[in-house]
Structure formats: structure tokens, C-alpha cells
Chain A
Amino acid sequence: MKTKLLAILLGALGTISSVHVNAHHSFAAEFDANSPLRINGTVIKVDWTNPHTYIFLEVENEEGDFEEWGFEMGSPNGLMRRGWTRNTLEIGTEVIITGTRARDGSLKGNAQTVLIAETCQRLFAGTSQRDFNESSIDSELCQ
């Protein structure tokens, strides 16, 4: 009977955890390291979720239209180790993101750094890009 109970419990846990597992993938499968991206926008949503945190920006394009861009960042735990909290980026914060584009050409990217325009505070976004060197980022981006 104990075995049955254990099996039911493990099955239930497996069902719940699978929701997160299907969101995980390799960097190279979704993003192109040879397509760098730098974009200015206003934070409209932050999804503080595992295995990746996502930040969404409203960006005005060259035609004056507004687009919604989504950027993948590290896990919440990884970001917290880099000094982030849930309140680091509030809705309405103007930011400059550097990173890489999605391979499929959609309005998505993988963020390497997030620069808060008002304070010039630069935050590393916990990218999963293997060859990313944090010291290679230009510290004068804000000017």
C-alpha cells in the first residue's frame, strides 16, 4: 500500500513539474549569437518564473509604431545571486537591453545586460550564452 501511495505522489509531482520542464531549452536552439541586439524600451511586464525570467518591453520602432519585445533572462535564483529582486525593474522603467536576437526573427531576444536609463545602473541578465564575457560589455552605454 505504501508503494501505491508513493507512486501516486510521484505521479502528481511529475505532472506539476512537467509544466516547467517543457519551457527549458538550449541557448543555441532559440537564439543566434551572431545577431547582436541593442534596444531601448519601457518595461511593461516581468515574469519572474522558472526556468527563465522574462522581461517585456514596449518599443517604438522607426515608423513610430509600438512593438512588444520579450527578452529571456536567467533563472530567478541566478538573478537574485547577481543582486536582482522582484522589484528591481518596475513597470514603466526605461531600459536599454543588449543581447542576441531570436533565430526565428520574432520580437524576442536573449538579454545579456539591462541598463536602467534613469540611473545608468547596469545589471547582468544571467544569459545562458556560453561564450558571453561580462567584462567585454562597454561601460559607457548610458552616455
Chain B
Amino acid sequence: MIKKYLLLYTMLGAVFPALAQTGHPATGSWSGDLIPFTAEDNQRIRLLIEAWDGELTGTINPGRRGVEIDSVSLEAESWTLTIEADMPDGKLVMEGKLTNLGSWTNRKYRGAYTIGDSKGTFDITLN
């Protein structure tokens, strides 16, 4: 009988951690704004980041006008995420930190970007 209880609790113990798995902290659908240093209007940006065999990949503004990301790299000690892509306006480089990693609804990716000759900051939230 003790063996049956042990089996039951082992099974339950396996179920609850499985429910808590959240995957790679950078993956998912993100939305936010590129905020230029000049007085131009903010530019809306969406990111879709996926992980395949530990390698990050993704798309900027997924959909009909989506642009494949050339490289995504995460420096895990500081949670610094760097994204590079060839956009119609020029090469986009975003470097920023992932924060609030424990949240499903308010995870942030904030930092600085350059696109062509334009520079600014960005503020992006996991959807």
C-alpha cells in the first residue's frame, strides 16, 4: 500500500511542475514602440521570437510585411537581448534587457536601438 501512495505522490509531483513550465524567457509575441531621440513619432513594432533546439529566431512585425530577424542573442547573466534585422529603412539593431521575467502579462524588453541613421530607445511588452 505504501508503494501505491508513493506512486500517487510521485505522479502528482510530476504534474504540478509541468504546469509551471514557461519556456525560454525571450520567446513569444511582443508589442511596443521604437521611440526616436528626435521629435519624430513613435514607431510601432511587434516581435515574434521562437526557440528551436536552443537557437533563437524570429520575425519583426509578423504578417504580410514581416521581416525575418537575422540574429537574436541572449546574454543570460544580465538578460541582455540583442536583435539584428535588415529593415526597409536600414539595418535595425536593438539591445536591451529583459525584466520582470516572472510575469506572464507584464514582461518587459527595454533598451536602445539604431535603424539606419536614426537612434532611440524602445519599450516592448510581452503580449
Residues of A at the B interface (CB closer than 8 Å) are 1, 5, 8-9, 12, 16, 42, 44-45, 56, 58, 66, 68, 90-94, 118
Question: In the complex, A111→B8 CA distance in Å?
Answer: 41
A16: contacting residue among B15, B46, B64, CB under 8 A: B15
How many residues of chain B are within 8 Å of chain A by beta carbon?
18
Q: How far is the CB of B47 from chain A (nearest CB, A)?
A: 10
A46 closest partner in B (C-beta) = B29
- Among B4, B8, B29, B61, the one with the most A-chain Cβ atoms within 10 Å of its Cβ is B29
What are 9 contact pairs spanning A and B, CB under 8 A? A42-B63, A45-B127, A58-B46, A68-B127, A91-B48, A91-B62, A92-B62, A92-B63, A94-B63
A-binding residues in B (CB < 8 A): 1, 4-5, 8, 12, 15, 29, 31, 44, 46, 48, 59, 61-64, 66, 127
A90 and B59 alpha carbons, distance in the complex (Å) = 12
Contact B8 A9 (CB under 8 A): yes
Closest-by-CB residue of A relative to B62 is: A92
Contact present for B29 and A44 (CB under 8 Å): yes
Residues of A within 8 A of B15 (CB): 16
Chain B, Cβ-Cβ closest to A117: B64
Contact B46–A44 (Cβ < 8 Å): yes
Chain B residue at minimum C-beta to C-beta distance from A8: B8
The interface residues of chain A lying within 8 Å CB-to-CB of B66 are 92
Q: Cβ of A5 and Cβ of B48 under 8 Å apart?
A: no
Q: How far is the CA of A7 from the CA of B62 in the complex (A)?
A: 49
Q: Which residues of chain B have C-beta atoms less than 8 A from A42's C-beta? A: 46, 63
Distance in angstroms between the alpha carbons of A44 and B31 in the assembled complex: 8
Whether A45 and B12, one on each chain, are in contact in the complex, defined by CB atoms closer than 8 angstroms, is no
Q: Which residue of A lies closest to B59 (CB)?
A: A92
A42 to B12, CA, bound (A): 39
List chain B residues, Cβ under 8 A from A90.
62
Least Cβ–Cβ distance between B126 and chain A, in angstroms: 9
By beta carbon, the residue of chain B nearest A56 is: B127
Query: Do the beta carbons of A118 and B4 come within 8 Å of each other?
Result: no
Complex partner residue of A93 from B4, B8, B63, B127, CB under 8 angstroms: B63
Contacts of A5 in B (CB 8 A): 4-5, 8
Q: Which residues of B contact A16 (CB under 8 A)?
A: 15
